[in-house]
Amino acid sequence: MNEPILRTKALTKRFGGLVAVSEVSLDLFVGEVHVVIGPNGAGKSTLTNLLSGDLPPTSGEVIFEGRNIAGCTSDHISRLGIGRSYQKTNIFLPFTVFENCRLAAQSRTPHALSVFRPAEGYAEINRLAEEAMAAAGLTHRAGRIAATLSHGEQRQLEIAMCLATQPRLLLLDEPLAGMGPHESQRMVELIKGLTADHAIMLIEHDMDAVFALAHRLTVMVNGEVLESGTPEEVRSSPAVQLAYLGGEELLHE
Amino acid sequence: MKNSRLIGFLPWLVVGLLALFPLVESTFYMQLLTKVLIMAIFAMSLDLLVGYTGLVSFGHAAYFGLAGYALALMAPKYETVSLWWSLPASIGVCALFALITGTLVLRTRGIYFIMVTLAFSQMLFFIFHDTKLGGGSDGIYIYAKPTMKLGEMELGSLEKLENFYWLVLLLTAGSYLLLRRILGSSFGRALLGIKVNEHRMRALGFPVFKYQLASFTLSGALAGLAGYMAAVQYGFVNPEILSWHQSGAVLMMVILGGMGTLYGSVIGAFAFVLLQEVLSNQAWFGIAAKHWQLAMGIFIMLVALYMPQGLAGLAQKFGRKPAEETSDE
């Protein structure tokens, strides 16, 4: 196997006495979807926040492309090439779909921008924004105000903005949350299409989507990794069956 | 779109009409209008922060007043000073002060930001009020207006009211155009993004603090331009120009006019100064004129309650059809 693009070593986050993430070590590879599952409060979102820089870890390392990024700010980590989407839709509601993506793409250009040149005058940024919209299937919505989109489309926009920043690693926090079956299917296809040239860490509850997408599966309980491996390995793990999935109905279809 | 072309033309029409105002030959009204325009620059500088960066400063008078003091302290007592270097120097002092205070106040948010900006302006107020540096509570007189010379030729004496008025009008229009330009750039879009969703901007890779600091510094510099002009107009500075009343007044102008529109600040400055003039007119309101702030307060409360978009929102309502972006397909 080739080198992981991101590797965590004994990553830990404490909130006072509570250990939200405990000694988590995992590897993410380009071309793979690594799904993290676990019950509510297992520390999945906290783990994402540690990787994206939204929260600083208490201890442990996050090695991205050979450098330790633990404790870096989120804007720094984003510029290094890690993009994330949020569980709760986190977009610019009053702006158009295009402007949401354009702004995201703008973050990739050097910061010494001319303050006198109109924002729309950068062909490269516009192209990136349009490509991101196309990839997320939102081109026909370019001129719409983000607040007027359906919930599913807002989730797509969330991904499109992420893509416009040209990340090599995507952290997707429950992209299917609150979506209908049709929208979910579209999102699964979208994520599948991104797999080839991205490393993806996906947090998801929807088991159909999990098994449709996962190359690797990590199960977290109470902040700890209970089991990690291929979907088959995890399915057949007695610990997982007992502690988390428990219900036979989820594993034996 | 005939309508939008008309709206684009409107600011030029306003500037053109204002430029002709000296023909009226009323000293009182020309002075009043000069004051309005100076306050318009001041209000626009604050709108950059409040309306476009999402930072509510309650200490903006610090930069306004500091520029006035910078001029008063730099100008030789009985001789004239050149506008060419005293104006940039005064603005520079304000920009530097904004850069320094900005690095500190921008570590706070919301109500704390309001309090810390207020604290800095109060510090400056008491420095000038309680020390001999700037003449204490009496302030300093600026006996002669700055000169604008090109070589040996005087371009126009600022002792003449209409010359000063035209200069201020030019600077107001220039400030408006400059800010419009900046706000339409990538930098301006990033500021708006920060106002709408600071957290997401950070997640997208924007160094939010640097953008805010740049905006804060620019805003302070522009407030300095207004403060310099105000000091020239009145011919003296005293600690009152740094007081929190002044910070409150300019904030009210921005809110009254409508935040985040820029021209709303201009409208707000007009409305505020003219209203103040009318409400404190003893011939009209008698004893109530003394308590004009009461009437002003009620008026501003009504605007805040029933016109959250300010007077600019009212203008938009009549000027444009409601947006139709919700019904495409």
- Nearest chain B alpha carbon to A108: B205
In a domain, A211, yes or no: yes
Among A99, A139, A132, A100, which Cα is nearest to A118's?
A99
A179 and A70 both lie in a single domain: yes
C-alpha to C-alpha distance for A193 and A197, rounded to whole angstroms: 9
Judge whether B203 is closer than 8 Å to chain A, CB to CB: yes
Do the chains contact at B187 and A109, CB–CB below 8 Å? Answer: no
Say whether B328 and A143 touch across the interface (CB within 8 A).
yes
Last residue of a domain, one of A131, A164, A197: A164
Distance CA B80, CA B144 (A): 6
Q: Which residues of chain A have pLDDT under 70?
A: 1, 110-113, 243-253
Q: What is the DSSP letter of B82?
A: B
pLDDT of the residue at B3: 63
What are the contacts of A176-185 at 24+ separation with CB within 8 A? A176/A204, A176/A205, A176/A206, A176/A209, A177/A87, A177/A205, A178/A151, A179/A151, A179/A152, A179/A155, A180/A152, A183/A151, A183/A152, A183/A155, A184/A208, A184/A209
Q: Are A51 and A8 in contact (CB under 8 A)?
A: yes
Question: Which residues of chain A does B196 touch, with a Cβ-Cβ cutoff of 8 Å?
Answer: 92-95
User: Hey, what are A253's tokens?
Assistant: 């279809």
Q: Give the 3-state secondary structure of residue B229.
A: helix
**Same-domain pairing of A98 and A154:** yes
Q: How distant is the Cα of A58 from the closest Cα of chain B, in angstroms?
A: 20
| Whether A160 and A139 share a structural domain | yes
* Residues A172, A153 share a domain: no
Residue of B nearest to A118 (CA): B185
What was the pLDDT predicted at B325?
38
Query: Is there a single domain that holds both residue A187 and residue A153?
Result: no
Residue B87 has pLDDT above 80, yes or no: yes
Tell whether B210 is within 8 A of chain A (Cβ). yes
CB contact under 8 Å between B197 and A115, yes or no, is no
Q: Which of A94, A99, A161 sits opposite B204 (nearest CB)?
A: A161
Hey, is the C-beta of B149 within 8 angstroms of any chain A C-beta? no
ipTM of the predicted assembly exceeds 0.95 = no
A121 domain-assigned: yes
Nearest Cα residue in chain B from A78: B205
Based on the fold, state whether residues A121 and A219 are members of the same structural domain.
Answer: no
Same domain? For A38 and A108 the reply is no
How far is the C-alpha of B269 from the C-alpha of B265, rounded, in Å? 6
Do A70 and A54 have their domain in common?
yes
List the single range of A46-60, A213-227, B90-104, B304-318 with lowest mean pLDDT. Answer: B304-318
Residue A233 identity (one-letter amino acid): E
**B283-301 pLDDT, tens digit each:** 888 888 888 888 888 888 8
Residues composing chain A: 253
Q: With an 8 Å Cβ cutoff, is B327 touching chain A? A: no
Q: Are A36 and A203 in contact (CB under 8 A)?
A: yes
Spatial CB neighbours of A22, under 8 Å, sequence gap ≥ 6: A12, A43, A222, A223, A224
Q: Tell me: the pLDDT tens digits for B184-223?
A: 999 999 999 999 999 999 999 999 999 999 999 999 999 9
Both A73 and A195 in one domain: the answer is yes
Q: What is the CATH number of the domain that holds A65?
A: 3.40.50.300
CB atoms near residue A187 (< 10 Å)? 23
Residue B2 has pLDDT above 70, yes or no: no
Token pair, residue A67, equals 């450098």
Domain boundary among A145, A164, A183: A164
Contact assignment for A119 to B208 by CB distance below 8 Å: no
Termini Cα distance of chain A = 31
A20/A36 same-domain check:
yes
Q: Which residue has the higher pLDDT, A115 or B257?
A: B257
Domain count, chain A: 2
For the whole model, what pTM was predicted? 0.91
Indicate the range of A44-48, A116-120, B120-124, B165-169 predicted with least confidence.
A116-120
What is the per-residue pLDDT across B49-68, written as a single tens digit (0 to 9) for each? 999 999 999 999 999 999 99
Residue A204 lies in a domain: yes
Residue A215 resides in a domain = yes
pLDDT value for A244: 61
**Nearest chain A alpha carbon to B187:** A115
Q: End of a domain among A164, A199, A219?
A: A164
- Mean pLDDT (chain B) is 90
Q: How high is the pLDDT of residue B309?
A: 86
Average pLDDT value for residue range B107-121: 95
Question: Rounded to the nearest 5 degrees, what angle is found at the Cα of B274, between the Cα atoms of B36 and B169?
Answer: 20
In a domain, A86, yes or no: no
Same domain, A205 and A149: no
Query: What domain range is A97 assigned to?
Result: 91-164
Is the pLDDT at B326 greater than 50, yes or no?
A: no
Indicate whether A104 and A137 sit together in one domain.
yes
Domains and CATH numbers, chain B: 26-318 (1.10.3470)
Q: Is B184 on the interface with A (CB under 8 A)?
A: yes
